[in-house]
Structure 1
Amino acid sequence: MSEPRTYSSDPVVLPLRLDPEPAPVPGCAVCRELANVRDRARAGGDVTTVSDCNVYLRRHPAGH
């Protein structure tokens, strides 16, 4: 009899995202503020907020 497997399947390999950071749309106050918050967070070492700001910038199409 063979040894039972202790895992269910092969591991999932996720791609490493190396997309450039989104740039604020010129003339958009919301985009500019998100970029400012992102810059302050990066300076303070808060990578979670940097990531959150990038997501908000990508998902902020209203008014453009």
Structure 2
Amino acid sequence: MSEAKTYPSDPVQPPLQLGELEPAPVEGCPGCAELANVRDRARAGGDMTTVTDCNVYMRRHPEGHQ
């Protein structure tokens, strides 16, 4: 008797979306400018978690935007 499969087929591997566009800072917004600076420093240090966090915060923060 063969061993039972715990899944019906090979697991699906979604593609990495490394080429996805990052949010651009809104001109004149100090919050966006600071997040972009932190993101650049995090990327230079290899901290991709902080890069992702900055992208999320930049997309969601309302201050300074018309």
Residue matched to 2:48: 47
Q: C-alpha deviations, 1:6-54, integer Å up to 9, x for none?
A: 2244434434323211110001111100000001111111111111111
Residue matched to 1:7: 6
Task: Report the TM-score, using the length of structure 2 for normalisation.
Answer: 0.71
Is 2:27 the counterpart of 1:21? no
Q: What is the root-mean-square deviation in Å for CA atoms of aligned residues?
A: 1.9
| Fraction of identical pairs, as percent | 61
Q: Which runs of 5+ in 2 are unaligned?
A: none
Indicate the SS of the match to 2:41.
helix
Task: Report the TM-score, using the length of structure 1 for normalisation.
Answer: 0.72
- Tell me whether 46-55 or 29-38 shows the greater mean CA deviation: 46-55
Aligned residues: 62
Residue matched to 2:58: 57
Q: Name the CA distance, whole Å, in 2 between partners of 1:9 and 1:57.
A: 40
